[in-house]
Amino acid sequence: MLLRIGLLLTLLLSSPALADKRIALSFDDAPRHRGAFFTPEERTVKLIAALRQAKVRQAVFFVNPGRLDTPDGAGGEQRIAAYAAAGHAIANHSFSHPHLSERTADEFLADVDKAEVWLKGRPGYRPWLRFPFLDEGGKDKAKRDAVRAGLAARGLRNGYVTADGSDWHLEQLTIDAKAAGKPMDMKALRRLYLQMQLSAAEYHDAMARSTLGRSPAHVLLLHETDLAALFIGDLVTELRRQGWTVITADQAYADPLRKAFPDVPFAYGTLTGAMAWEKDIDPPLYPLWISQAVATQLFENRVLKETAKP
């Protein structure tokens, strides 16, 4: 009996459906505002070096050219070029980072076009559009469909996300703590960052398997943050230790998922979530530390060493 159980476990664990977990890294909002620890220039140098050391062949940076005119955007064109020179892709994240649900379809597409003028023809360019805030129109299906048609007419594909661990929220907590002069436990910060991203990957993979019957090529939503510059190497190491293969963005966006356009009541968020909603699939148990409220409490307790309020 024990031998049979052992053989069964071996077969299950060696099954491609269970063992094949693939994920690409994507970074939004380049050139991003200053974080808590580095200048934008320092962040780019450290992030490129960390990706190289981790042997990540190609990530993708979704660019907002409108940020170049902000104080922290100075030198951003050179930083974006540095990512491309290091072998990474760059793609469209709109010009000014608007909510589609707060614009008309024509206004939103005009903003996308403005970004395309800046991006197209540059080294590393890919014809992908990552919706700002992952907002694909909310409850307005007519607007959603008009933008989908407009992007297709322009030869732009959806630079969708399949896994999201709210790294931007953790980054903002560090910025606020630094501004308040509060010391941070960097080991605890590293652990929390890894917990949030790793659990997000596993959660969304479980949801995708329930929905699709397979593990797709995932795209993890990250941002061009100081936290990425500090911990991306550790994240890649842990992903691999947990059975993930880190693939290129080109490989991820070649997955059949690229042909999916879910019809759900509210177009917002990850593609995996929308597809599960469309098929009425019950989501897996949500890891608590992905929750922004819980992440804030953990940050205060573990990173800032503040006692919980009664």
- Supply φ then ψ for residue 146, to 5 degrees: -65, -40
Overall domain count for the chain: 1
Question: How far is Cα 26 from Cα 251, in angstroms, rounded to an integer?
Answer: 13
Q: Domain of 117: which CATH number?
A: 3.20.20.370
Q: What is the DSSP letter of 12?
A: H
Question: At 71, is the pLDDT very low, low, confident or very high (cuts 50, 70, 90)?
Answer: very high
- Average pLDDT, whole number, for the chain? 93
In a domain, 9, yes or no: no
Nearest to 54 by CA among 217, 266, 230, 292: 230
Better-predicted residue by pLDDT, 19 or 4:
19
Average pLDDT over residues 19-32: 95
Which ranges of 92-166 does DSSP label H, i.e. alpha helix? 105-119, 141-153
pLDDT score of 58: 99
Question: How far is Cα 290 from Cα 280, in angstroms, rounded to an integer?
Answer: 22
pLDDT score of 283: 85
SS3 of 59, please?
A: coil
Question: At 288, is the pLDDT very low, low, confident or very high (cuts 50, 70, 90)?
Answer: confident
pLDDT tens-digit map of 227-264: 999 999 999 999 999 999 999 999 999 999 999 999 99
In a domain, 223, yes or no: yes
Orientation angle between helical segments 271-278 and 186-212, nearest 10 degrees: 40
pLDDT tens-digit map of 186-206: 999 999 999 999 999 999 999
Where residue 235 falls (left for φ over 0; alpha for ψ -120 to 50; beta otherwise) is alpha
In a domain, 209, yes or no: yes
Better-predicted residue by pLDDT, 98 or 309:
98
pLDDT tens-digit map of 211-229: 999 999 999 999 999 999 9
Question: How far is Cα 230 from Cα 234, in angstroms, rounded to an integer?
Answer: 9
Question: How far is Cα 54 from Cα 57, in angstroms, rounded to an integer?
Answer: 9
In a domain, 308, yes or no: no
Lowest mean pLDDT among 58-72, 97-111, 279-293: 279-293
- What's the alpha-carbon Rg for the chain, to the nearest Å? 20
Question: At 9, is the pLDDT very low, low, confident or very high (cuts 50, 70, 90)?
Answer: very low
Better-predicted residue by pLDDT, 209 or 16:
209
In a domain, 101, yes or no: yes
pLDDT surpasses 60 at 6: no
pLDDT surpasses 50 at 34: yes
Print the domain residue range for 178: 25-303
Within 8 A by CB and 6+ apart from 137, the residues are 100, 101, 143, 144, 147, 267
In a domain, 4, yes or no: no
SS3 content of the chain, % helix, strand, coil (to 5): 55, 15, 30
Average pLDDT over residues 157-180: 98
pLDDT surpasses 60 at 3: no
Question: How far is Cα 129 from Cα 127, in angstroms, rounded to an integer?
Answer: 7
Determine what percent of the chain is predicted with pLDDT higher than 70.
93
> In whole angstroms, how far apart are CA 76 and each of 60, 155, 185?
16, 26, 30
In a domain, 269, yes or no: yes
H helix or E strand, kind and range, residue 129? strand 125-129
Question: At 287, is the pLDDT very low, low, confident or very high (cuts 50, 70, 90)?
Answer: confident
Question: How far is Cα 4 from Cα 55, in angstroms, rounded to an integer?
Answer: 39
In a domain, 60, yes or no: yes
Q: What is the DSSP letter of 65?
A: G
Which ranges of 22-97 does DSSP label H, i.e. alpha helix? 40-53, 76-85
